[in-house]
Structure 1
Amino acid sequence: MEQLAVAQPFVEFSGLQLACERGDARDFQWAAVLDAAERDEQHFRELVVLAARDEFLRRLFPHLGHRFALSADEHSGSVLVAVFAHRPGWFVIYNRGGDDGHAFAGDAPRTVRYLVDRLRDQIAR
């Protein structure tokens, strides 16, 4: 891709596309999510920073937008878990399958612990 971009300057590739080509998409995405979280004063910053420090969660592929989500890898079309900011410093993970309740609610440190426990069990299956 990088050679194509040089040869054909009208073709543009995103940083993530180029990172996929180099084989470092996950590291690129964590850096991008951390950068975005640093500018996010009220919502996901503490959660993302703590998640990025966790060795197990760091092996997953993060997404940040209206939620913080983790996928198995950059090729996965599905999300393993999505975390929503309920209010500053308080996070919620909703039940799947149409249940209106939530599976978990807590502050950033407790949310990271919950994610590690849940995803270790989920991935181990």
Structure 2
Amino acid sequence: MDFDKMAVYHEDDGIAVDVILNCFGSQKISVVYLESDKCDEKMKIDISFIISHQFELLHLIEKATASYIDKIYTKKLDKLTLIKIYLFPDVECQYGFLFDWLGDIEHGIGVKIKNLKVEDIGGAEIAFL
């Protein structure tokens, strides 16, 4: 990814860029670098990692969300849409994924990944706290 050509913009929670992760679909996904106002080297490294490990991340997330949805909602995983990814400037190798899910459109699902392991899963706020 050519970071010099990225369109960086400000969101309420920090600086952001849009990426396309083919394994999650063809839509642009906002990647927010929480509480930051500039794109630094850590942000670039985190985005590169997510892009290069997107299929592995998808597999981890699908497995965890299917189990979570079955346990909490006693439903099967159906349409799960990635809305946003959160990066944490003070934490290494940790990423928050925010999903829209048809089974709970009001709250969505948040998944926090650290070191390629699901650290937490639950409501949307899990992705950015």
TM-score (normalised: structure 2)? 0.30
Which protein is richer in strand relative to its size? 2
TM-score (normalised: structure 1)? 0.31
